Amino acid sequence: MKISVIITLKKDVLDPQGKVIHQTLDGMGFDDVNEVRQGKYFEIDTKETDNNKAKAKVEEMCKKLLANLVIENYKIIDPK
């Protein structure tokens, strides 16, 4: 089963890379952008076949490794 995870920076955390991407977009003519926040995306292919169990495992992975909860939030996307 493949489970996807999106990691984003929390609202109050400075994202200098997002800022630079925003500036570059602005310079390219995309001048209606309010803000850009950069994040990470993971696809985890697990042997687990039970949907809920797999999600619980991935949640544990997020808390222990994939995300740093001081600065990041994670969102697990329901497998199709």
Quick check: 77 and 3 in contact, CB under 8 A?
yes
From the CB of 80, what's the least distance to other proteins, in Å? 26
Which of 23, 51 has the CB closer to other proteins?
Answer: 23
From the CB of 71, what's the least distance to other proteins, in Å? 5
Interface residues toward other proteins, by CB under 8 A: 13-14, 16-17, 20, 65-66, 68, 70-71
Q: Are strands 72-77 and 2-9 parallel, antiparallel or unpaired?
A: antiparallel
From the CB of 15, what's the least distance to other proteins, in Å? 9
Question: CA 18 to CA 23: how far, in whole Å?
Answer: 9
Question: CA 9 to CA 75: how far, in whole Å?
Answer: 11
